[in-house]
Amino acid sequence: MGTTAHKSGAVAWMHDGTGIKDHYFVVPLDHGAPRGEKITVYAREYFAAGGEDKPWLLYLQGGPGGKGSRPARVSGWLGEALKQYRVLMLDQRGTGLSTPVNRHTLVERGAPTAQAQYLRHFRAPDIVADAEIIRHLLGSGPWVTLGQSFGGFCTLTYLSFAPEGLSKAMITGGIPPLEGPADQVYHATYQRMRARNREYFKRYPRDLETLSAIYRIVRRDGLLLPDGSPLTVGRVQSLGMYLGGNTRIDALHYIFEEAFLPGTDILSDAFLGAVYNQVSRAANPLYLVLHESIYAQPGAQPTAWAAQRVLEDYPDFNPTKSDTPMLIGEMCFDWYTELDPALIPMAEATEMIASYDNWGKLYDLEQLANNTVPVAALVYTDDVFVERNLSLASAAKIANLHVWDSDAWHHDGIGEAGAEIFERLHRMLRTD
């Protein structure tokens, strides 16, 4: 621990009496070279009044490239968790108040080859190694974790390489395939998205007519988004991210309702703003840059824009083969780095990440098969982002993991019914 440091701020109090404290940790960029370059990882502590000495729960955020949650008020799963724990919200390396990775900072690394080499240190094993340093610096014994989506991926990495750091673990919508290429993920999720599109447009049939009209106007008029970048059919398709939630599908309907200025074929600023908010990676560039690398395993072929390659097998999603292509979900394409001002300076390095073929291990299958840490995992039956069948296949390979398979929510269930979900998962972990 001699190469690390920890600074914490004074306690502040939210309006509801919840205490919060800032923590800054200095960690190695490369955990294989602990005396080398250092970066800062930030985390925010939350505790109920009088709960300053409760045991720790580490929240592992979805992503990749997602910073820790910034709740304006304590409710949902966090409110439930604070009854028993102090909660640490981690800004995973490269995000939020941690040493940032973005179009400004990455170019300072030098040539694209140097940028890509730097980016290779921002995957789940690096995040877990950070968490272990942080746990020791906080003086915590093995702690409890809650991992949402990509945070669940990180949980399985934790169980693989540092299980001694965990007492219990909870996962929501976040059990990835443990083996195989990224292609399998996109074959599965395109099929899930097809079913979800059909479900949505059966519920709101007029929205399909609206979408068809939008595509026609976009192809004809060469429009721009509020940041001056081009509006394309593919970027409109990205509104399909709304289909990953229970109530967000109604929010998508409201976007389509206001797509045109009344009585015209002019797309409204409200609609253009909604598309911009969905496709811009200004706030989380690592989501695009590292997205497919979260599936990259040793000995496998490069991910090489797997979602884009697999698209050729799904013409109903392909804007070059369909007049009204279906809406897409968590699929990343190389054109993002050609169109988004936040990504354009990172394009060459991103391409190098996509073509890289020498990744380290994400999981230890033998360790997972012999896991002794109690794990409770919620698998969403109709999840369009982390596909159920792939999740269940992985869960069957992990000892001491208990699955709750539910069709009550979609991928954002933890945000919709967090208290209920947390309480049940926590109950599943009880060993007494």
Q: Are residues 92 and 211 in the same domain?
A: no
Domain finish residue from 337, 355, 373 = 355
Query: Which of 312, 335, 355 is at the close of a domain?
Result: 355
Tens of pLDDT, residues 60-111 = 999 999 999 999 899 999 999 999 999 999 999 999 999 999 999 999 999 9
- Please report, rounded to a whole number, the percentage of residues in the chain having pLDDT higher than 90: 96
Confidence at 246, pLDDT banded by 50, 70, 90:
confident
Same domain, 210 and 342: yes
Q: Are residues 229 and 318 in the same domain?
A: yes
Output the pLDDT for position 247. 83
Q: Has residue 135 got a pLDDT over 70?
A: yes
CATH, residue 71: 3.40.50.1820
CA 175 to chain centre: 12
Q: Spell out the residues 6+ positions from residue 97 whose beta carbon is closer than 8 angstroms to its own.
A: 22, 24, 42, 67, 91
For residues 130 and 427, what is the distance between their CA atoms, to the nearest angstrom?
28
- Here the tokens at position 257 are 């309702």
- Give the count of beta carbons closer than 10 Å to the beta carbon of residue 221: 12
Percent share of the chain, pLDDT over 70: 99
Based on the domain organization, do 105 and 162 belong to the same domain? yes
DSSP letter assigned to residue 114: H
| Beta-carbon contacts of residue 2 (< 8 Å; ≥ 6 apart) | none
- Residue 331: count other Cβ atoms within 10 Å of its Cβ: 25
pLDDT on residue 431: 58
- pTM: predicted TM-score of the whole model, two decimal places: 0.96
Check pLDDT > 60 for residue 432. no
Q: Are residues 45 and 24 in the same domain?
A: yes
Judge whether 21 and 36 are in contact, CB under 8 Å.
no
Residue range(s) defining the domain that contains residue 237: 183-355
Q: CA–CA separation, 193 vs 198, rounded Å? A: 9
CA distance 75 to 292: 32
The whole-angstrom separation of Cα 75 and Cα 61 is: 17
Question: Rounded to whole angstroms, how far apart are CA atoms 305 and 302?
Answer: 9
Beta strands 143-148 and 56-60, pairing class: parallel
> Is residue 348 located within the same domain as residue 200?
yes
Q: Please, what is the Cα angle at 12 between 10 and 14, to 5 degrees?
A: 165
**H helix runs in 258-361, sequence order:** 269-279, 285-289, 306-310, 336-339, 347-355
Same domain? 296 vs 228: yes
The larger pLDDT score, comparing residue 299 to residue 395, is at: 395
The model's pLDDT over 169-179, given as tens digits with 9 standing for 90+, comes to 999 999 999 99
203 and 338 both lie in a single domain = yes
Total number of domains constituting the chain = 2
Tell which of 300, 326, 355 closes a domain. Answer: 355
3-state secondary structure of 82: coil
Give just the sign of the alpha carbon dihedral 200, 203, 205, 210: negative
CA end-to-end distance (rounded Å), the chain: 35
Residue 1 scores a pLDDT above 90: no
| 389 shares a domain with 266 | no
**pLDDT greater than 80 at residue 4:** no
pLDDT digits (tens, 9 = 90+) for 143-158: 999 999 999 999 999 9
User: Tokens 């079913």 belong to which residue?
Assistant: 195
In this predicted model, what pLDDT tens digit does every residue of 10-66 receive, in sequence order? 999 999 999 999 999 999 999 999 999 999 999 999 999 999 999 999 999 999 999
Same structural domain, 333 and 219: yes
Instruction: Let me know whether 333 and 230 are in one domain.
Output: yes
Does residue 244 contact residue 238 with C-beta atoms inside 8 Å?
no
Residues 96 and 221 in one domain: no
Q: Which residues of 417-429 are buried (b: 16+ CB within 10 A; e: fewer)?
A: bbbbbbeebbebb
72: left (phi over 0), alpha (psi -120 to 50) or beta: alpha
Query: What's the pLDDT tens digit per position in 338-362?
Result: 999 999 999 999 999 999 999 999 9
Could you tell me which of 430, 431, 389, 426 has the C-alpha nearest to residue 172? 426
